[in-house]
Structure 1
Amino acid sequence: MQQQFDLIIIGGGSAAFAAAIRANDLQLSTLMVNSGLPLGGTCVNVGCVPSKFLIRAAESVHHTMHSSFDGVQAKGANVNFKQIIQQKQALVAEMQTRKYLDLLPDLQHLTVLEGRAAFVDMNTITVNGETYKGIKIAIATGSTTDIPPIEGLSDVAFLTSDTLFDLEEQPDSLIIVGGGYIGLEIAQLYNRLGTKVTVVVRDRILKVETEDITDELTKHLRAEGVEIKTGATIQRVWQEGSAVKAELVSNGQSQTIKASHLVIATGRKANTENLDLEKTGVKTGIKGHVLVNEYLETNVPNIYAIGDVNNLPQFVYTAAYEGTTAIGNAFQGSNHKVDYNVLPWVVFTDPQVAGVGLDEREATERGIPHESTIMPLTEVPRSIAALDTRGFIKLIRNPETDQLLGARIVAPEGSELTMELSLAIKYGITVKELASALHPYLTLAEGVKLAAMSFTKDVKKMSCCAG
């Protein structure tokens, strides 16, 4: 095998493939080294694809069991859990083949090698006992669950999001440690499929968001039967027969809880432990994430870090964007800066939690004048007609300029509103212009118009479609 390459990519996920495709377009000789998860990485194999499939499956079950309409009787669904998982596995295999493996024959300048890569120096790696050199190197090794130091955890067969979705026998009950987006999506979907779920979180769920967001989502999850223990810490865990037990401390009180399975969802850490980065001088930060600048460069000039392994927002769409951007910067002198100031994001619970731009706390930290308005879905015609008024739309603006600073949404399918708001922030569309724009009646998007209007008007005193 060739030993010298223009580019070496360590990793085989979304960021790595985006980088490889861009490098192939530039006719760069490229070596991709993959280990751990199959090609395609977290998203297609154990993350986005399987989780969203299961969320939709659970949602379909939920709808057969609950109806708000007087003339519709919800009679429930017959759930074959094993068949759901097998269909998920088939979908993952099909997507991995179509979106990753089938691309390889067209990438004529790419060589793929399975094995663990470790650095020798800033231009050299070893794989399976062989040495390879690259002019530029892109680290794209992704991330994995950050396992907390809980007493007894190493003696319990705990699960993570990487392993839970492959269980073909439905868990009778789950203890989920962690209240971030991964833990909450898992909690709701398994609850809807009939598993008893307890979420344990040190503070409150989605603690990076303001309390109005987390309180609203907590209310709806609890209403569905998800048990959420906030302000709680697990001191130790142990196996007792077929059950996992945990000693829980909350408000100075101790109690024992148990479940058939324990799931750890306490955040992510970068996959950098086995790269021998110390031989390159590349700097890492919290949880091993590689520190990069706005050009995706590390502190070592020829080494870049892309995707979940770096210290930037961790989404599959940012990973792919970074893969393409890094190669342009490295080999074409593009000097393209990544800018996530208007990055939309989603938590795929139901109702969804979505956002873009700044919230009130972030605006305060930056010293930006701001005010906010909240439009409850009880005032949005689409939601009223659907008999589903869970949640709200919150807009944050600068009152001195009328510029939109950010938005936070808790709503069924609320993520569909984020692109309008993202573009409004990016291109300086004022809140007044949002309020005057024609939005179709009986769409959720009309809620954005109503929220914008509510800065200056009482929408409760307006007729339908009034502007």
Structure 2
Amino acid sequence: MKNNKPENIETIQLEIDGMTCSGCSSHVEKDMNAKDGVISSAVNHETGIGEFIIDTIKIGKKELINAVNNIGDYSVINEAEKETTAVSNSESTTIKDSSSDKNDYDLIIIGGGSAAFSAAIKAEELGLTTLMVNAGLDFGGTCVNVGCVPSKNLIRAAETVYHGSYSNFNGVKPKGVEIDFPKVIKDKKALVTALQQQKYMDVVRDFENLTMLKGWAEFVDKNTILVDGKDTYTATNILIATGATTNIPNIQGLNEVGYLTNVSLFDLEEKPESLTIMGAGYIGLEIAMAYNRLGVKVRIIEFTDRPLRTQTKDITDLLEAQMKHEGIEILPNFRAFKFEKRGTDIIIYCNCPDDSTTKIVEKGKIVVATGTRPNTSKLGLNKVNVELSGMGHVLVNEKMETNIPNIFAAGDVTQTPPFVYTAATEGSTAVANAFSLSKTGIDYSSLPWVVFTDPQIAGTGMDEVEAERAGIPFEVSKLDLIHVPRALAAQDTRGFIKLIRNPETDKLIGARVIAPEGGELIQQLSMAIEFGITVKVLAESFYPYLTLGEGIKLAAITFGKDVSKLSCCAS
């Protein structure tokens, strides 16, 4: 009998881990049936088997698996040992298990994040045979999977909620918003899946010389790695780009209470009643503001005297005031020493600033955001004598070279600034230097950075504390936003622009901005430092009126004049 089923209609069976009841199977079926290209879903929670009828024009098998993996705590497990192509119809770039025959390469990259992909792109440009070995997070690493992309997506969603509920204008009365928290998280997951494919896997789709391998790598010698304890691979040069993970403090009972990190928190579809965040660095602060605005009661426990301790007190005071105004509880100089589960509650025992102890009851979740640690402990670096810092970072010079001539490192695994854009530059630089006699270094003296709180905090170069410590002559100009016409028109004058110059040369050596969307200003100031632009030039340049950028001009003028006595656009 003739089969009339269209060629693009396919039935796929997947084995799914994490289902415990009929509600789980219903959950998966409901979410998958809403996926474009999925015609029907039938999931049996007892066997763990899901049968999906799909339209292969709209969705492929890999996308189907990713969609299942993005639902709650469920994951497809029957594909782990099968060889699959990185992108459909691609034969040259392959993701496979570690059972392949021994191979020799020009370059081995250990890791699969931004530094690794940037290195792979450079290697392909140079015509190098390359093996990328990745374990832990999926290809794409921290930024796209559990860092920059999901956090900034949630931050923007939270800002929408905030502006729908609060107004700077007396004549505008917001009526609030309705938050579909599970939908916010699902949309975030869809964005992560799309960008992981588009910005990472699709980029290397047609690479002729790249092989991608899933497995844990450790060094055998300076030219050889062992993957998953089974197979060895050799290369002329090796790049370590294994990134970093949350540093979990050694506190009694913490491992028993079921804490979260950004990796697990961002996938939590059920909105928690409340969060206690351990740590007030930039990760903890961004999480706090986003989830508080999404309707979660938030508390921060910080063992130092204030949030974002790396910045000067005038910045952190302003940010702390805003966070408290929004209802975030901040406990500085508190140090947790014990966690205990009591029913559904978590009891946190803390040492207080006055040397007393207290018990804090958390009815929701604990989030650990106490910094990161480099992923170096299981690489076998002791076998090749690669030098590490006291914190375990791979020590590199400005050329991304380690102390072993053919071993390089890049990204968060090193002691360099931990940003996705620095990692990308480092990965490319490392490969170029590994295969060239003409080596180049990276200069971070004008590096721009942003903390995506509200107001945002941005910086480049030195602040006044760092300049004094370095013995560099400096002067500071600080302009409150109340003097910036754009901020007055928006009726949002939270923050300031601070410029630090060398009075002997009039050149800018640093800047700090705290302002709504303040991160949009910092690149211009970074370029001013990099190219030696004087404060005089900044003060005399044209700036569009009623832009926040005009604040740079006014801050530059403030070195010599009182801008409160100038008319609009005057210099």
Residue in 2 that maps onto 1:365: 469
Aligned to 1:78, the other structure's residue is in SS state coil
Asked if the contact 1:175–1:258 (Cα under 8 Å) also holds between the matched residues in 2, the reply is: no
Task: Give deviations 1:126-176, integer Å, cap 9, x for gaps.
Answer: 113001001000000000001111111121100011111010000111110
AA matched with 2:296: T
Matched, 1:229 2:229: no
Question: Helix, strand or coil: the match of 2:142?
Answer: helix
Q: Does structure 2 conserve the Cα–Cα contact (< 8 Å) formed by 1:354 and 1:414?
A: yes
What is the aligned-residue identity percentage?
Answer: 55
Describe the superposition over 1:445-465 as per-residue Cα deviations: whole angstroms up to 9, x where unpaired. Answer: 000100000010000111111
Spell out, residue by residue over 1:238-296, the C-alpha distance to the aligned partner (whole angstroms, 9 max, x if none): 11222222112222132211221000001010001110110010011132110001110
Higher RCO (CA 8 Å, separation ≥ 6 residues)? 1
Do residues 82 (structure 1) and 186 (structure 2) align?
no
Q: Which has the larger radius of gyration?
A: 2
Matches within 5 A, 1:258-269: 258-259=361-362, 260-269=364-373
Is the counterpart of residue 294 in structure 1 residue 294 in structure 2?
A: no
SS at match of 2:203: helix
Structure 1 residue 2, shift from structure 2 partner: 5.3
The total of aligned residue pairs comes to 467
Between the aligned partners of 1:111 and 1:230, the Cα distance in structure 2 is 48
Higher helix share: 1
1:7 aligns with 2:101: no
Question: Quick check: 1:455 aligned with 2:455?
Answer: no
Q: Distance in 2 between matches of 1:258 and 1:146?
A: 23
Partner of 1:186: 287
Please say which of residues 249-258 and 13-22 is displaced more in the overlay: 249-258
Unpaired segments ≥5 residues, structure 2? 1-100
Unaligned runs of at least 5 residues, structure 1: none
Alpha-carbon distance in structure 2 between the residues aligned to 1:219 and 1:71:
25
Query: Partner residue of 1:116?
Result: 216
Correspondence 1:37 to 2:160:
no
Q: From 138, 152, 168, give the equivalent of 2:239.
A: 138
Out of 458, 464, 481, the position equivalent to 1:354 is 458
Deviation (angstroms), 1:231: 1.2
TM-score by length of 1: 0.99
Structure 1: distance between partners of 2:377 and 2:180:
40
**Rounded Cα–Cα distance in structure 2 between residues aligned with 1:456 and 1:111:** 59
Report the Cα distance in structure 1 between the residues aligned to 2:562 and 2:180, rounded to whole angstroms. Answer: 49
Q: Any runs of at least 4 consecutive aligned residues in structure 1 with deviations exceeding 6 A, and if so which?
A: none
Amino acid at match of 1:200: I
1:125 and 2:222 correspond = no
Residue 170 (structure 1) aligned with residue 271 (structure 2)? yes
Q: Which of 257, 260, 264 lines up with 2:360 in the alignment?
A: 257
Contact 2:121 2:204 in 1 (8 A): no
8 Å Cα contact 2:102-2:232 kept in structure 1: no
Aligned mates of 2:303, 2:553 — CA distance in 1:
37
Partners of 1:98 and 1:127 lie apart in 2 by: 27
**Residue 492 (structure 2) aligned to one of 365, 388, 393:** 388
- Partners of 2:344 and 2:207 in 1: how far apart? 49
CA contact 1:243–1:261 (8 Å) conserved in 2: no
Do the aligned partners of 1:175 and 1:197 also contact (CA within 8 Å) in 2? Answer: yes
Contact kept, 8 Å, 1:296 with 1:304, in 2: the verdict is yes
Q: What is the alpha-carbon distance in structure 2 between the residues aligned to residue 425 and residue 76 of structure 1?
A: 43
Q: How many angstroms apart in 2 are the aligned matches of 1:373 and 1:179?
A: 28
Aligned match of 1:149 in 240, 247, 250?
A: 250
Aligned to 1:105, the other structure's residue is in SS state: coil
CA distance in 1: counterparts of 2:463 and 2:390, whole angstroms: 24
Match of residue 343 from structure 1: 447
Deviations along 1:9-56, one digit per CA (max 9) or x if unpaired, are 000011000000100111100000011011000000000000000000
Moved more, 284-293 or 445-454: 284-293
Cα distance in 2, alignment partners of residues 34 and 42 from structure 1: 12
2:568 aligned residue: 464
Q: Which is further off, 98-107 or 343-352?
A: 98-107
- 2: distance between equivalents of 1:194 and 1:286? 40
Which deviates the most, 66-75 or 320-329? 66-75
Q: Which deviates the most, 14-23 or 150-159?
A: 150-159
Q: Could you give the per-residue CA deviations for residues 91-110 of structure 1, whole angstroms, max 9, x where no partner exists? A: 00000011111123211100
Match of 1:272 among 356, 376, 380: 376
Residue 206 (structure 1) aligned with residue 304 (structure 2): no
Partners in 2 of 1:267 and 1:205 — Cα distance?
13
CA distance in 2, matches of 1:187, 1:98: 29
